[in-house]
Amino acid sequence: MNAPHTLTRRKTLAALGGAALVSGMPAFLPRANAQGLNKVSFQTGWLAQAEHGGMYQAAATGIYKEHGLEVEIRPGGPQVNTVQLFMAGSSDFAEADGFRAFAYAKDKLPAVAIAAYFQKDPRVLMSHPGTGSDTLAGLKGKPLFVATTGRQTYWLWLKAKYGLTDDQLKPYAFSLAPWLVDKQSTVQGYLTSEPFNARKSGVEPVVHLLADQGFDNYASVAMATPKMVKEQPELVQRFVDATAKGWKSYLNGDPAPGNALIKKHNPQMGDDVIAYAIGAMRQYGIVETPEAQAAGGIGAMSAARWQRFYDAMVAAGALAPGLDVKSAYTMQFVGGKRTA
């Protein structure tokens, strides 16, 4: 659902006219409204959906207000370039993942990861049952539908770890139709959507969650500018904590308020899709894991895991060596024990 993970500083400056990036300063600094709440904005990477449920729940139930914030959630989409919008200063925070955080750092763009709300990347490969494709190793020699972005990231890891080869690749146009026809094939997807659509088409798929096989990418990562981190750390902390509480409420309480706001922002989103996504996130521990709880709760990150993932991707040829990994993130806001 996300755009490619590389955008060079030169291209970004050209696209934005240079002014915002040269100063490194958001065009719209957080400000207070009539109620004394700090107004901030968060740019997501896709249309409103359950995968953003924690933020919508925090907005709908007043959790953000309890933390002195008025948060505008700005949905992404197929024609929305999240990186350019964030670098132009049109939002105070933006959604990314571990790969994109490394891309920001590589290109020396002013962005740093402040929290990781998805401990597991929800990317999956999906196979047909009864075809000997029950494991990733069992996919050798069989067709795989993988989009361009995936070929630049997790596909290189799959090749290195499981011996898969490029001659297996087939173009993926974000339709399950070719996969449904070819029973020996496997297709990329997201845990929270493609398995649901497969079942609607009459197939009970074999779902390979890459995160459970060692693909340690953080997802739903909140990014901020170094300037905001330095000058307004207390505001950033409130945003991180409130969003974590929103996720806690969404997954463990009544998600109805968040769902209503999701559907307001995305009227095409059905209740059945939302319910499936919530169930999948709960079942597979996408947001809440023992590791995260031990490290401080929802949104937690660890320096060791950032380094481990980077090293694995360098070994697979998916990332270039020589990056200062610590420049991609800060532990300032997720290191201590929190209530969420």
> End of a domain among 153, 184, 213?
213
Residue 28 pLDDT > 90 = no
Residue 18 pLDDT > 90 = no
Asked whether residue 226 falls in the same domain as residue 110, the answer is: yes
Specify the pLDDT at position 20.
Answer: 33
Is 234 inside any structural domain?
Answer: yes
Residue 142 pLDDT > 50 = yes
Q: What is the pLDDT of residues 266-302, one digit of tens each?
A: 999 999 999 999 999 999 999 999 988 888 899 999 9
Q: What is the pLDDT of residues 48-77, one digit of tens each?
A: 999 999 999 999 999 999 999 999 999 999
Specify the pLDDT at position 9.
Answer: 40
Specify the pLDDT at position 270.
Answer: 96
pTM: 0.89
Q: What is the pLDDT of residues 217-252, one digit of tens each?
A: 999 999 999 999 999 999 999 999 999 999 999 999
Asked whether residue 199 falls in the same domain as residue 132, the answer is: yes
> End of a domain among 180, 198, 213?
213
Q: CATH number of the domain at 52, please.
A: 3.40.190.10
Domain range for 311 is: 9-120+217-328
| Token pair in block for residue 72 | 């505008």
Specify the pLDDT at position 64.
Answer: 98
Asked whether residue 31 falls in the same domain as residue 136, the answer is: no
Specify the pLDDT at position 171.
Answer: 96
Is 83 inside any structural domain?
Answer: yes
Q: What mean pLDDT comes out for the span 156-170? A: 97
Residue 180 pLDDT > 70 = yes
The proportion of the chain whose per-residue pLDDT surpasses 70, expressed as a percent, equals 89
> How sure is the predictor about 12, in pLDDT bands with cuts at 50, 70 and 90?
very low
Work out the mean pLDDT of the chain and round it to a whole number. 91
Is 245 inside any structural domain?
Answer: yes
Q: What is the pLDDT of residues 68-102, one digit of tens each?
A: 999 999 999 988 999 999 999 999 999 999 999 99
**In which region does residue 74 sit, left (phi positive, over 0), alpha (psi from -120 to 50) or beta (all else)?**
beta
> How sure is the predictor about 340, in pLDDT bands with cuts at 50, 70 and 90?
low
Specify the pLDDT at position 295.
Answer: 83
**How many domains is the chain built from?**
2
